[in-house]
Amino acid sequence: MATLEQQRAQDAWNQAGIAMQQLGGGYDKYVNSAKALPALIMNSGLMQVLAFCHEKGGANEVVAQHLRAWLSKRFKSIDRGPGFDLLMQSLMNAKPGDYQAITAEAFAWLRWMRQMAPARVGGQQP
């Protein structure tokens, strides 16, 4: 059975591969967004950054979609499905401890995505 770290790594690798196919030549913006999100979350908060990514669209929204999908898999308190509205409602209604745990998980997943997204540039297609 894979550890949680291995699951995060595998998911980040898979999602980066999907983004490569989806974005083509715009994949470098996905890589840059994946690298920037942890600092943005640290400065502004998870919900604010998810709203920013949704509003910006493009590669920012793709990274946010992948993060939302991971969080919805990991937490029962989050409505199933990676949709923006569902996750935002779940986060707004989350207990403080749950919100902190969700934010911590977002950071943990993004640590892997920061590494996997640029690694996919020279890697194999999924």
Q: Tell me what the mean pLDDT of segment 1-26 comes to.
A: 94
Q: pLDDT tens-digit profile of 52-61?
A: 999 999 999 9
pLDDT number for residue 80:
66
Q: Tell me what the mean pLDDT of segment 72-81 comes to.
A: 79
Share above pLDDT 90 across residues of the chain, in percent, rounded to a whole number:
79
Measure the CA dihedral 90/95/96/102, to 10°: -40
pTM: 0.90
Is residue 38 pLDDT above 60, yes or no? yes
Share above pLDDT 70 across residues of the chain, in percent, rounded to a whole number:
93
* Better pLDDT: 125 or 22: 22
To the question of domain 27-120 being in CATH 1.10.520.30, the answer is yes
Tokens coding 4: 């949680």
pLDDT band per the 50, 70, 90 thresholds, residue 121: confident
pLDDT number for residue 86:
85
Q: Tell me what the mean pLDDT of segment 2-25 comes to.
A: 95
Is residue 126 pLDDT above 70, yes or no? no
